A and B are shown apart, each in its own frame.
Chain A
Amino acid sequence: DTAVSQTPKYLVTQMGNDKSIKCEQNLGHDTMYWYKQDSKKFLKIMFSYNNKELIINETVPNRFSPKSPDKAHLNLHINSLELGDSAVYFCASSQSRDSNQPQHFGDGTRLSIL
């Protein structure tokens, strides 16, 4: 059983399109995250939700809109895709929002903008 699963694994699309990435965790965790990994492998947090409430929003363009319908799901919708959005997007979850909790990551979604 996959603990944190993301779909799709690969996403290839044209500039200007709108796309969504879905994430689900079956660990019973309260807190979920989105991270972006750029072409140089640098990982940076984008958003965090705790029990469906947004707790971290790291100066991400408002073309990116996360949505958490329940605490097991955190989706990421991206409007008007740009070339610079090409990256690997990772979803993660942790038991709680306490800083000592390890985060468990999904396998990533590789987004390529043509």
Chain B
Amino acid sequence: AQKVTQAQTEISVVEKEDVTLDCVYETRDTTYYLFWYKQPPSGELVFLIRRNSFDEQNEISGRYSWNFQKSTSSFNFTITASQVVDSAVYFCALSERWGAQKLVFGQGTRLTINP
């Protein structure tokens, strides 16, 4: 069965610090997809990125970067030079190829960036 674990329940850093959010997943499928979503205090869920299991290249988008490592079943998310607007709950999620598009979410990590 698929499972996603975000062991960090809460993280608090000072603005401009770099911060990494951890995500570890379990799946028996050889083809699967990993996602990160952001939930700001206003409550909506915002899609950030999708990664395919067969593509282990890391990705960078501005201050955001993602490190996918199949060997450790991890898909970590790093924010460089954090800003107060990055404060949110971040969710990692997994869908299996044959899972009828069922997204399984981790517990979420609440990130607080202090000025």
Which A residues form the contact surface with B (CB < 8 A)?
31, 33, 35, 40-45, 48, 55-56, 58, 88, 90, 92, 94, 97-108, 110
Contacts and interface: CB of A to CB of B under 8 A. Distances in A.
Contacts of B80: none
Given A98-B101, A105-B47, 17 more contacts: A41-B39, A45-B102, A55-B101, A88-B43, A97-B100, A99-B96, A99-B98, A99-B99, A99-B100, A100-B52, A101-B101, A103-B47, A103-B101, A105-B37, A105-B45, A106-B44, A108-B45
A94 B108 contact: no
Contacts of B96: 99
Contacts of A48: 100-102
Question: Which of A43, A97, A98, A104: most chain B CB closer than 10 A?
Answer: A43
Question: Which of A92, A101, A103: most chain B CB closer than 10 A?
Answer: A103
B113 interface: no
B100 A41 contact: no
Nearest to A42: B107
A48 B103 CA distance: 11
B32 interface: yes
Interface string B42-72: 1111110010100000000000000000000
Nearest to A31: B101
A108 B102 contact: no
A99 B45 contact: no
A31 B100 CA distance: 10
B102 A107 contact: no
